[in-house]
Chain A
Amino acid sequence: DIQMTQSPSSVSASVGDRVTITCRASQGTSSWLAWLQQKPGKAPKLLIYATSSLQSGVPSRFSGSGSGTDFTLTISSLQPEDFATYYCQQANSFPPVITFGQGTRLEIK
């Protein structure tokens, strides 16, 4: 099974900072990736799908990139509402087998 490893596991940053979160797959078959945001007490929310496509309604300060085994979520200028936990997710085979990264907690510095 493919394992997804996120780094860092937590990060502290300030409003206005640029933040990058990385997700690495254990095998080179993770062609595409999704990124989700979860705030305390809320359901996860889809931000990015198919590695770099922005979900409707998501601010353009969020972007995704990568290929093969290495993928990145970038927040270009942190806003107060962005402090949350972020997960990568992949599922590129049939029947679908879904794998999440372990999460990255983004905290206010």
Chain B
Amino acid sequence: EVQLVQSGAEVKKPGESLKISCEASGYGFTNYWIGWVRRVPGKGLEWMGIIYPDDFDTNYNPSFQGQVTISADKSISTAYLQWSSLKASDTANYYCARLLKQYMETGVTYFFDYWGQGTLVTVSS
């Protein structure tokens, strides 16, 4: 059974650093992209970036490039999302999700098929 289990809720002050995790099980961790998605309360889903754990290739949404770092540790099948200096506007629920690649007759499509339970990050002075 595929599972993505995220680390627990965090309360931080502006300017602090943070690293949250997503531990995968039930599938070959290095064979699939894994991504991070933000949901600010009252807003929609925003794609932040993805990582391919086999070679650590990453692709970021330009809106989040330079604001966060996505990494992975193959030895423990875990992906990470990291901030070096949090802002109040980073307050949100963060989800990790596995990105499945499906070959079609005329191309390829990607979609998130399994999701972590979410990590609530609250940044407040």
Task: Tell me the A residues contacting B by CB distance below 8 Å.
Answer: 31-32, 34, 36, 38, 43-46, 49-50, 55, 85, 87, 89-92, 94-103
Give the B interface residue count (CB, 8 A): 30
Additional A-B contact list (11), CB under 8 Å, known A32-B109, A49-B102, A96-B59: A31-B106, A31-B107, A34-B109, A44-B112, A50-B109, A89-B111, A91-B109, A92-B107, A92-B109, A100-B37, A100-B44
Residue of A nearest to B114 (CB): A46
Q: Is the interface of A mostly helix, strand, loop or mixed?
A: loop
A91-B111 in contact (CB<8A): yes
Q: Which residues B74-97 have CB closer than 8 A to chain A? A: 95, 97
A94-B108 in contact (CB<8A): yes
B104-A44 in contact (CB<8A): no
Instruction: Please give me the 3 A-B residue pairs with the lowest Cβ-Cβ distance, nearest first.
Output: A34-B111, A32-B109, A98-B47
A100-B109 in contact (CB<8A): no
Interface string of B43-62 (1 = CB under 8 A from A): 01111001000000101010
A49-B47 in contact (CB<8A): no
- A22–B59 Cα distance when bound, in Å, is 28
